Amino acid sequence: MTETSDIAVYQKLTEVADELDQMAADGASLVGAVALETASKTVRGMATAVYQRIMADRDDAPDN
């Protein structure tokens, strides 16, 4: 099994959130749009957490 990098996880989560936003914009019902927008915000929150961890790891890395 191959290990997935943190940046790949961040990129995929961002891509999924963009797709959810597009689905909501493409004319989902009111209930569907609210569900999609909520899911998008949740996924973006996960992407943000991964990104912040990536940046923290870089800040903690020793200078070369």
Residue 27 lies in a domain: yes
The answer as to whether 23 is a domain residue is: yes
DSSP 28: -
In a domain, 50, yes or no: yes
Q: Which domain holds residue 43?
A: 6-60
In a domain, 30, yes or no: yes
- Is the overall model pTM greater than 0.95, yes or no? no
* Number of compact structural domains in the chain: 1
From 39, 40, 54, 44, select the one nearest 5 (Cα to Cα): 54
Bigger pLDDT: 40 vs 61: 40
CA distances to 3, 22, 34, 47, 55 from 9, rounded to whole Å, are 11, 20, 25, 8, 14
Pair 23, 63: CB distance under 8 Å = no
Q: What is the pLDDT of residues 15-59, one digit of tens each?
A: 999 999 999 999 889 999 999 999 999 999 999 999 999 999 887
47 Ramachandran zone, left/alpha/beta (phi>0; psi -120 to 50):
alpha
**1 within some domain:** no
Whether 41 is covered by a domain: the verdict is yes
pLDDT given at position 30:
95
